[in-house]
Amino acid sequence: MNKIVLLGALALSAFGSLAQAQDSLRIGIEAAYPPFAFKTPEGKISGFDYDIGNALCAEMQVKCEWVEQEFDGLIPSLKVRKVDAVLSSMSITADRLKSVDFTQKYYHTPGKLVMKAGTEVKDPLVDLKGKKLGVQRASTYDRYASDKFAAAGIEVVRYGSQNEAFLDLTSGRIDATLADVVNISEGFLKTDAGKGFALVGPDFNDPKYFGNGAGIAVRKGDAATATKFNDAIATLRSNGTYQQVQGKYFAYDIYGQ
């Protein structure tokens, strides 16, 4: 009789664990990348990633359990099952795909040039020839500029941070800088320093250099979780929820082509 009771208790425990796993999802996030994820003055997580994640969980009828971590610890935590997914503006790159799987993208922001307002750039390799272009050292934009712009006779000036490039742009020491469109828009153009400057030229989104957008990372082989997220992303895109969340933070479409 005791064995029967014990087996029954174990079965209930296993069922409870399974139900809990189905009812909640532990999602890793780094809350230090505004406007995608940041802390409010009250210490709460906010931002596009956080809001879109909660909307996805609502669509999947599960509870989001947010696990805040440093960015470089997110994939290790996923691999050792401390979290079930990572939703933290993580670009889908060939290198990361060696250790984790990804959903489809949930946004894809291109690189852009920013120059003095009124500057016309149709072909950057022609129109910027002889000019100075600033990039953040060791970034994807540095790699792209080194391969493409430098070979076209454009002087590439490298900086330890993107903010340093913005400072030299405003002082006239460089003619343009290449960076993520959100970084430019939110971190420069919307500030007093960005007055008199504007985004110019085409989008820069070559997947060889910039990946395939930001996706939600899941463990290798976890097709079930990836499929649920993909279905939810498609639903949010079609029913207008995605656009509503996006509109809280951006005045432009960040989903991309």
Alpha carbon distance 90, 49 (integer Å): 10
What does the pLDDT read at residue 22? Answer: 58
Alpha carbon distance 197, 203 (integer Å): 17
At a CB cut-off of 8 Å and minimum separation 6, what does 38 contact? 31, 32, 45, 46, 47
Q: Is 135 strand, coil or helix?
A: strand
Alpha carbon distance 68, 73 (integer Å): 10
What does the pLDDT read at residue 68? Answer: 96
What does the pLDDT read at residue 172? Answer: 98
Low-confidence ranges of the chain (pLDDT < 50): 1-21
What does the pLDDT read at residue 12? Answer: 40
What is the CB neighbour count within 10 angstroms for residue 140?
21
Burial environment of residue 188 by CB neighbours within 10 A (0 to 12, 13 to 18, 19 or more): buried
What does the pLDDT read at residue 128? Answer: 97
pLDDT tens by residue, 50-100: 999 999 999 999 999 999 998 889 999 999 999 999 999 888 888 889 999
Residue ranges of domains in the chain, CATH in brackets? 2-108+212-249 (3.40.190.10), 111-210 (3.40.190.10)
Q: Look up residue 175 and give its two tokens.
A: 């003619």
